[in-house]
Amino acid sequence: MSVISMLVKARDKIRNYPKIIKKRSRKYTFEDRRKNSAHLIYVLSGYKAELWTNVFGRLREAAPEEYDFCIVSAGKYVKELSELAANNGWSYLATVANNVPYIQNLVIELHPNARYIWKFDEDMYIYRDYFKDMFLTYQKANDELNYRICFTAPLIPINSYGFVKFLKEIGKLEEYENIFLGGHKAVIGDSKGKYSGVLWTADAQKYIWDVTGNFDDMARKIQKNQIGYTICPVRFSIGAIMFRRDMWKEMEGFSETYAHHYNDGEDEVTINLNCMKNARVIVCCDNVLAAHFSFGGVYDAVLEHLRKQNYLERKNGV
């Protein structure tokens, strides 16, 4: 037998060998303060404690009292988050497995009455009327579109889709292109592209924070726009989204590949693939602003920059 034949035979043997995937750990702690609401808010949290006071303060002010609210921590139990939840009448869920798709499926399963599901990462900032404005825009899109909706999202400045929309809205897109792209056109969505990957740098994200200024002031300006929306045609980063339970069932939950961990963005890939597979669209609300702290490994640099500014100072009535 030739060497090539031996290698081909070995390759085929490996391909046909049954894959062994360990079962996920199903151990979890659920501190139950459910209200059996048709709306569920859950926040993936546990790793950015320095952001919690502002992020959860905003959520507390914005969240309708009748909505179910659950803080979730994958892979750890965090006493501070447990106490925060208790003090606000929220539920708290922690899993042994550091598997983000699993804990999201679990929190939805634990709230069987929830028809509308609001998902947040722990580094997303919202304003007081966020839920009201998002739901009104969702209803408008749902009534008008000849599409089925996969999920609805706000306008997010530091986001591979939202950054172009946002910079164009405030008249800063050309300046951004001149400073960071040598005058070339900004490209949406392609994180590895020559004219889009720059968004992953600390300088680009600090620039977007600088032109945003105080978040609440900018949220007020965006909020005054006529209620409207656009359809996102590319992969969308899901730091703050709203989706319906029937869509979650249709995609058979978030894909859970690993026993004790997950590939970064696996939940995001699942829901974006479901959009295309089942002919659903992503609806982005033009009149609803949410701020993403940072992404792409530049967290510390952005944190240092924002500590010197008042961009996230909370203002009453916004």
Distance separating alpha carbons of residues 256 and 303, to the nearest angstrom = 32
Q: Which of 59-63, 173-177, 202-206, 308-312 has the lowest mean pLDDT?
A: 308-312
Higher pLDDT, 191 or 29: 29
pLDDT of residue 24: 55
What is the overall mean pLDDT for the chain? 89
Instruction: List domains and CATH numbers for the chain.
Output: 28-307 (3.90.550.10)
pLDDT of residue 25: 63
Residues 98-148 have pLDDT tens digits of 899 999 999 999 999 999 999 999 999 999 999 999 999 999 999 999 999
Say whether pLDDT at 241 is over 70.
yes
Say whether pLDDT at 16 is over 50.
no
Q: Average of pLDDT values for 61-79?
A: 97
Going from the C-alpha of 139 to that of each of 36, 143, 186, 228, 288, the distances in angstroms are: 22, 6, 31, 11, 14
Distance separating alpha carbons of residues 155 and 169, to the nearest angstrom = 10
Q: Average of pLDDT values for 2-15?
A: 50
% pLDDT > 90, the chain:
74
Tokens in use for 201?
């740098």
Q: Which of 20-24, 50-54, 155-159 has the lowest mean pLDDT?
A: 20-24
pLDDT of residue 258: 53
Distance separating alpha carbons of residues 133 and 129, to the nearest angstrom = 6
% pLDDT > 70, the chain:
87
Q: Which of 10-24, 85-99, 273-287, 291-305 has the lowest mean pLDDT?
A: 10-24
Containing 248, the helix (H) or strand (E) segment is: helix 245-250
Residues 139-188 have pLDDT tens digits of 999 999 999 999 999 999 999 899 999 999 999 999 999 999 999 999 88
pLDDT of residue 315: 74
